[in-house]
Structure 1
Amino acid sequence: MNINKLQTFITLTECLNFTEAAERLYCSQPSVSMQIQSIEEDLGVPLFDRIGKKLFLTKQGEYFKPYAEQIINLLHSARDHIRQLEDLSFGTLSFGASNFVGVYLLPMILRDYSKTFPDIKINMNITSSSYLISMLESNKVEFLIISDRVMIDESRFQRKTFYQDELVLIVHPLHPLARKEECTLEDLVNETLIIKPDKSATRKYLEGQFKELGFTAPKYLEISNLEGIKQGVIHELGVSMVSNFAIQQEINNGLLVTVPIKGVKFSRGICYVYHRSKHLSPATKQFITLLDNKYCYSESPIIHSI
């Protein structure tokens, strides 16, 4: 089994059509068929089911695919890393980020990085935490930047917090709470709390903190992204608790108001995550150094009180 055969297998899983796979790979259809047959013979199992004119991955094929992707991606990474040892004007900084991190926290850092290393291509994937973990496992990205509330396998992945993000209560400027210097959780018992769906790491964190503090939000309005949540508050659909970093423009423009909650602070760490056994590329090491130097965060426990 060689790399070309694995690439053929990956391509065929993406299109599930021998003719299209041959076109993508600039080879003949019989060549694709022979390479797939060779892999199946090596593994001793069928990777595709051929039902009529349609092609389907078998269970064995589905299980084998992430391993094939890891091998292909690892080889590409190795080539990039070796060249970057001599020349950081070449290569790609490839990583995944959660929505808040990718949209609000990182653009300024990426600007500084691009000025220092203008020839490094930046590939930032912004998606859900669960999909980010799968991308890291298959080596589609080299590292992640996510909330420390996202569960990871600590035996496989290294995590370091570099930034502490405070979640603050936001309301419309004409909301009664906007006139208060501070409020209590009891002031929110009749409010609609705009929040992400229950699979969100931020949602799980806030609900866990509410439970510890003996508070139960009476009514939720679920919106799946931060921009939608901010617009919901701006249009008086309810109140919300979001990253203080992410609402500065709206605060400065008078569209939102933050209200401190007496005796309570909600914080979450933002961290970078990578394989413990992985050799990070020079491009990635430079980026991580930039993160550490920018925020100079020292990990310590956050105490929530009321």
Structure 2
Amino acid sequence: MNLQYLRVFLTVAEHEHITRASEELILSQPAVTKTIQHLEQEVGLELIERHGRRIALTHAGHVLHNYARKVFALEREMEEALSALRDVDAGEITLAASTTTGVYLLPPIVARFHARYPQVSLNITILNSHEIVEETLNWNLDFGLVEGDAAALPAGLQVDVFAHDELVLVVGPKHRWKGLPALLPTDLRVGQLLMREQGSGIREVIEQAMLLHGVQVRPLLTVPDNEAIKQMAMSGVGAAIVSALAIQRELATGDLVRIPIAGLDLRPELSLVKRTDKQLSRAAQAFCALLCPPTEHEERIFDPE
């Protein structure tokens, strides 16, 4: 298969638009259209359907799109691997982190790494844990940092636990629960909790822990942002189970009050995940080594316990 044709097809598929693809490729629209036609003749299948200025992939187009992404991801990995053999002090790392890890744990790691390797470019995205796993498996990340049960992650991933989080129940200073010595899991069953969206590692940890007590949680509100949840809890909208890392200042000032949940252990694992068949660049390996040292004698930034 002609890889140049495939590259043009991938760009068209990503944009779902001939004009935008031609602008990115610096080719004329007729040249892009003709290339797609040549590729369709080569594979013997129709790959796109035209709807005015936009296009839609056929079933065959979706299949080829998935494989094309893998082909060029491998090409980038090959180039990075060869470059990494020349120099660990250069290159690019693409990673994603869950909100808690990205906001509260990643900054000191990035600072230390940047001090050692100032020429390495870091591309960091904040996603929920489900999205990070999906992007890692799709070859879009060198690695990801997720929160939740490492054993529950899908096959095809190498998983290294580098720390544990602690989730705590908090309410605002005027909430009716303030001052209670403790709550039971059943007290949180219906319409009490502000929770993250489905796919969030923290939400999965909470739901799994509650199910062990026979409690299926129905949240008061679903909000895809930790800071928004914290602000709503402070305003008295409802209770929230959040990372202790995210509320240290608010607990100290009294803007949030912690209430124990009897019999509930919420200490999710924080893990580094990458594809088992992905060869990391030396720069990416150096970053991972800050979190998960290869030997017991090397300094570890976070205590995994």
SS of 2:154's equivalent? coil
Asked if structure 1 preserves the Cα contact closer than 8 Å seen for 2:161 and 2:270, the reply is yes
2:301 alignment counterpart: 294
Check the 8 A contact 2:196/2:203 in 1, yes or no. yes
Change (3 A) 1:215 1:287: same
- Cα-to-partner distance string for 1:205-258 (whole Å, 9 max, x where unaligned): 322222322456576332222111101110011111111112123223432122
- Note closer, same or farther for the CA distance 1:41–1:296 as it changes in structure 2 (3 Å cut): farther
Return closer, same or farther for 1:18/1:162 CA change in 2, 3 Å cut-off: same
Cα pair distance change 1:218/1:200, threshold 3 Å = closer
SS in 2 for 1:295: coil
2:21 is paired with a residue whose SS is helix
- Cα RMSD over matched residues? 2.5
What secondary structure does 1:27 align onto?
A: coil
What amino acid is aligned across from residue 47 of structure 1 in structure 2?
A: L
Contact in 1 for aligned 2:209/2:264 (Cα 8 Å)? no
Structure-2 residue corresponding to 1:74: 74
Aligned residue in 2 for 1:20: 20
SS at match of 1:271: strand
Q: Within 1, Cα distance between the matches of 2:278 and 2:239?
A: 43
Report if the CA contact (8 A) 1:177-1:183 is conserved.
Answer: no
Q: Which amino acid aligns with 2:56?
A: F
Match of 1:31 in 2: 31
Q: From the superposition, tell whether residues 178 and 53 of structure 1 become closer, same or farther in structure 2 (CA, over 3 Å).
A: closer
3-state SS, counterpart of residue 213 of structure 1: coil
- 1:37-52 correspondence runs (5 A): 37-51=37-51
Q: 1:70: how far off?
A: 1.6
For structure 1, the residue ranges without an aligned partner over 5 or more in a row are 299-306
SS in 1 for 2:220: strand
Cross-structure match for 2:202: 202
* Alpha-carbon distance, 1:6 to partner: 2.4
Question: What is the CA–CA distance in structure 2 between the aligned matches of 1:27 and 1:18, rounded to whole Å?
Answer: 10
> What is the alpha-carbon distance in structure 1 between the residues aligned to residue 271 and residue 121 of structure 2?
22
What aligned pairs does 1:106-117 form with structure 2 within 5 A after superposition? 106-117=106-117
In structure 1, the residue matched to 2:255 is: 255
Please give the secondary structure, in 2, of the residue aligned with 1:60: helix
Q: Deviations over 1:100-154 (max 9, x none)?
A: 2222221221111111111111111212333323322221111111123375322
Q: Secondary structure at the match of 2:261?
A: coil
Q: How many residues align?
A: 296
Partner of 2:182: 183
- TM superposition shift of 1:14: 2.9
TM-score by length of 2: 0.86
Deviations 1:21-65 (A, max 9, x none): 222211233332332223223322111123555422111111221
- Structure 2 counterpart of 1:297, one-letter code: P
Gaps of 5+ in 2: 293-299
Change (3 A) 1:6 1:152: farther
Q: CA distance change for structure 1 residues 85 and 219 in 2, over 3 Å: closer, same or farther?
A: closer
Runs ≥4 residues deviating over 4 A: 51-54, 214-219
Q: 2:183 is matched by which residue type in structure 1?
A: T
Q: How does 1:1-306 map to 2 (within 5 A)?
A: 1-51=1-51, 54-149=54-149, 151-154=152-155, 156-175=156-175, 177-179=177-179, 182-185=181-184, 188=187, 192-215=192-215, 220-292=220-292, 293-297=300-304
Residues 260 and 4 of structure 1, relative CA distance in 2, 3 Å threshold: same
Cα separation, 1, equivalents of 2:206 and 2:185: 16
Contact 1:170 1:256 in 2 (8 A): yes
For 1:2 and 1:105, how far apart are their aligned partners in 2?
Answer: 45
